[in-house]
Amino acid sequence: MTINVSFDWKTYSWLKRGNRRIEVLKYLSTADKPLTATEVKKEQKVDITQSAFTLNELWKFKLIDCFNPEDHHGKLFIINTKGRNMLDKLKD
């Protein structure tokens, strides 16, 4: 097995340590539209604060995109290429 040194192993390690992070990222990968924290909350059956916190973490690590980051409520999130690559790497 060869190791890709240019891969973002720090983000991979952080993501792997959080089951909720992985589950939210997987859920976003199956969505056909951008989702809000409330929509993620309903699917994941967690409190809204946990849902919003997890989405913000994923956004800060650039695994998802936010269409309206300036809004305080109703932010819309969607998985991006880096997030999909991380999910693929977790499957390996």
What value, to the nearest 5°, has the Cα angle with vertex 10 and ends 3 and 22?
100
Q: What is the pLDDT of residue 1?
A: 54
pLDDT tens, 51-73?
999 999 999 999 999 999 999 99
Q: Which of 80, 19, 79 is nearest to 50 (CA)?
A: 19
Q: Which residues contact 81 (CB under 8 A, 6 or more apart)?
A: none
Checking if the pLDDT of 5 tops 80, the result is no
Q: What is the pLDDT of residue 28?
A: 98
Q: In this structure, are residues 62 and 77 in contact, taking their beta carbons and an 8 Å threshold?
A: no
pTM given for the model: 0.90
Q: To the nearest whole percent, how much of the chain has pLDDT over 90?
A: 90
- Domains of the chain, earliest start first: 9-91 (1.10.10.10)
Query: Residue 44, SS3?
Result: helix
Strands of 1-92, DSSP E? 64-66, 77-79
